[in-house]
Amino acid sequence: MGKLALISEETVRKIVTRQLAFDAVRAAFEAVAVHRSRVFDVVIGTGLHNGEAFAIKSGIDIENEMVGFKCGTYWAGNFDKGQPAHGSTILLLDPETGFPKALVNASYLNGYRTAAANAIAVSNLARAEAAVLGVIGAGLQAEQEIRAVAEVRAFSQIKISTRSEARASWIADRLQDVDIDIRFTSAEDAVRGSDVVITVTPSELPLVRDEWIREGTHISAMGADDKGKHELDTAILKRSSLFADYPQQSIIIGEFQHAYDDGLINSADDICALGLVTLGKSPGRISDSQITVFDSSGIAIQDLMVAGAIFEAAQKMSQVQYIDF
């Protein structure tokens, strides 16, 4: 069959930057928004114990001739073992033969990829003068989200809510180099008065209530990527402008699934693809009083684009290991 390229996490760490991820994910959003790519149904499975799950997301990018999939895992118990709860592996296929072309350890990369989606949303949908960031969740991905959005808005304060003292201590230590006032508080206080709210949890019960959200707020719902996951009171969506990485998927496994099931969202047509905003084909924020909500359920084209960018850079740096396969 030929050679299979292997790209290790060590190599990914040498190459990835916020800008690389931002550019790749923006290109992915635009490709799916104008139907230059296809996203296939997500396949979801479980591990042997509660709190263990994996999802396979696949797709094709016609313009760039990319085919492949990502297997993303979530093992909740890993945090107590000192390991990341999330794992990720991307396989790029040869578009001519269908044989494996490159295998990328994307566990570290996935944090950049997901946070880049949030940064794109915040840069296009949050008010320019947004100064207070509220975050629900304090895991590994929360750190990535905070770092990414802090590059697109000049926050003066970050309020973080977590139910775990261990996670609060962990993320406080991780963010010591961030020159922004950070404090830990309740979910309600983290949300009230914040200009941007980020939810990044695996919750199946709403964590953010409608009455906590003031006019002009932007919300990025980053946690829902499976049936049943639920971070926002659906009443919030009734008075908000809705955006998603992939609207058709957002009403199936994303945050918007619950509003769709309740009839508050009639169809995916009620939701704007974020790629249309970055392309200038649809408006983003149109007033300072508008509430905007971005639903990130994650799409395969994001993974293919970032993996392709890493693979290309690794080849130029002679950092690819090849094995017979």
C-alpha span between 319 and 248 (Å, rounded): 37
Average pLDDT over residues 146-163: 97
Give yes or no for a contact between 7 and 313, defined as CB atoms under 8 angstroms apart. no
Kindly state whether residues 260 and 314 are assigned to the same domain.
no
| Strands of the 241-244 sheet, one edge to the other | 181-184, 157-161, 132-136, 196-199, 218-221, 292-295, 241-244, 272-273
Catalytic hit among 57, 70, 159, 229: 70
Q: How confident is the model at residue 1 (pLDDT cuts 50, 70, 90)?
A: low
Kindly state whether residues 225 and 305 are assigned to the same domain.
no
Kindly state whether residues 59 and 85 are assigned to the same domain.
yes
Kindly state whether residues 189 and 204 are assigned to the same domain.
yes
Kindly state whether residues 182 and 209 are assigned to the same domain.
yes
Kindly state whether residues 138 and 271 are assigned to the same domain.
yes
For residue 45, pLDDT beyond 80 = yes
What are the pLDDT digits (tens) for 299-315? 999 999 999 999 999 99
% of the chain beyond a pLDDT of 70: 100
Kindly state whether residues 197 and 286 are assigned to the same domain.
yes
Kindly state whether residues 165 and 282 are assigned to the same domain.
yes
Q: What is the CATH number of the domain that holds 94?
A: 3.30.1780.10
Nearest Cα to Cα of residue 259 among 206, 183, 198, 298: 206
Q: What pLDDT, on a 0 to 100 scale, did the predictor assign at position 140?
A: 86
Cα 140–chain centre separation: 13
Active site residue 70: yes
Kindly state whether residues 125 and 216 are assigned to the same domain.
yes
Kindly state whether residues 142 and 47 are assigned to the same domain.
no
**CB-neighbour burial class of residue 79 (10 A; exposed 0-12, middle 13-18, buried 19+):** middle
For residue 226, pLDDT beyond 90 = no
Give yes or no for a contact between 300 and 68, defined as CB atoms under 8 angstroms apart. yes
Give yes or no for a contact between 289 and 128, defined as CB atoms under 8 angstroms apart. no
Domain range for 51: 3-110+301-324
- Output the average pLDDT for the chain: 96
Residue type, 63: E
Q: How confident is the model at residue 317 (pLDDT cuts 50, 70, 90)?
A: very high
Q: What pLDDT, on a 0 to 100 scale, did the predictor assign at position 155?
A: 98
Kindly state whether residues 138 and 178 are assigned to the same domain.
yes
Kindly state whether residues 177 and 287 are assigned to the same domain.
yes
Q: What is the CATH number of the domain that holds 127?
A: 3.40.50.720
Average pLDDT over residues 109-115: 96
Residue type, 223: G
What are the pLDDT digits (tens) for 199-220? 999 999 999 999 999 999 999 9
Average pLDDT over residues 226-254: 96
Nearest Cα to Cα of residue 220 among 297, 302, 323, 107: 297
Global pTM value: 0.93
Q: How confident is the model at residue 116 (pLDDT cuts 50, 70, 90)?
A: very high
Number of domains in the chain: 2
Q: What pLDDT, on a 0 to 100 scale, did the predictor assign at position 2?
A: 82
For residue 86, pLDDT beyond 90 = no
Nearest Cα to Cα of residue 109 among 32, 7, 177, 199: 7
Average pLDDT over residues 246-255: 96
